[in-house]
Each structure stands twice: as C-alpha cells, then as structure tokens.
Amino acid sequence: MEGTMLIDPRRCIGCRACVSACRECGTHKGHSMIFVDYLDRGRNTATLPTICMHCVEPTCALVCPADAIKVSEDGVVMTAMEPRCLDCRNCVNACPFGVPKYNTAMHLQMKCDLCFDRTSEGLKPMCASVCPTGALTYGRYEEIVPRRRDARPVNIHVFGRQRVATRVYLMLPIEEDEVRVDETAELSFHESWLDTQVENADKRNEF
C-alpha cells in the first residue's frame, strides 16, 4: 500500500462528510462503505469514522470458500468479486471490525476498498479528501506521522486471544501501543438526537 490511511479519533467532529463522499466513489455504486460511530453515547458526543482496517491477514478473505475476496499487491482488501460471491456471508460474520456489508439486491458482499479506483492512480480516497479536520488522513506514513507528535500510530488490535495487525492506523495517546477490546464490556446503542436529525446510523450487516 503506497499510501497509508490514518484515523485520528480526537479530530472527528461527527460531520459525516466522509459518509456522503463515500457514496460518490465509482466502485461503490451509490452505497457508503463507511459509517460514523459513537464512542460512548451515554457520556459524550465523541465520534469515530469506521472504515475497513485492511488487515495484514484479512479474516474475511480467509473464510471465503469461493476465493471471491482478493488482496491487491498494495495490501488493499477488495470487495468480493461478483461472479464468485456465493451469498454465504461468512466474511460478514467473521470480520472482527464489523465492516463488510451484504447487498441483498446484488447478492454481493461490499466493503471499503480505499477507493481503489482513485488510490491506484495516486489520488486520496473520497473520505480522506473531504474530511475537514484530518480525522481521516491518507498519504505517506513517514510524512504524516511526524506532524502529530502528541499521538502514536497503532495498528495492533486485540480481541480476546486474537491479535489483528492492520494496514490502517489509529492515532492514539503516545502511551498506547495496541487497541484492546474488552469482550465483557456492555455496548450502548441508544439513538442520539443527532441520529434523528441527520440520518439513522445503519448498523445492520445488510443493505
């Protein structure tokens, strides 16, 4: 992956410009492959854009029985190939980040592919090109990271006993070196006022 995507949760303002821009990507057929999540709705308004983390060993591709999910030479994990997708949805259920979605009308799994039609030509993904605060940044790792000295790029995620390395980095406080998900934590999915005013956050795994 010539360019690197970095996500900085501290900079996200919940504007959802990334969600709207994602629909404009030529390979997404009008669907957004990104959503803005709330970190703790019960206590604050902090938000975080969720995109495909493009795992070094992508579980979605490993569980596909038809070899429909390919990884580019740059490490971009692609949407399932339409002629090969079997509608089994193994990839949807296996992803630890909950990213792949199943398009029932097209009988096809779809996911963030970093706007491969753009990045393969040296352009930024749509989401990073419109983010007003730099919460989503795309470019060369060695150029971006030194500018943010108060944060550390982290690409190791721990889900119980599973350690997942990703090609997309989260910018976290400098004392953190991995993201650890507590399996016993109770997640809050209460609808916020912003959701009712802007658009409903669709957390289903189907279109």
State both tokens at 77.
């994990």
pLDDT digits 0-9 by tens, 73-127: 889 999 999 999 998 999 999 999 989 998 888 888 999 999 988 988 889 999 9
State both tokens at 201.
């956050």
pLDDT at residue number 194: 45
- Looking at the predicted structure, is the pLDDT value of residue 37 above 90? no
Distance of alpha carbon 196 from the chain centroid: 23
pLDDT at residue number 89: 92
Residue 154 confidence class, pLDDT cut points 50, 70, 90: very high
pLDDT at residue number 202: 56
pLDDT digits 0-9 by tens, 43-68: 878 898 999 999 999 999 999 999 99
pLDDT digits 0-9 by tens, 165-187: 999 999 988 777 788 876 554 44
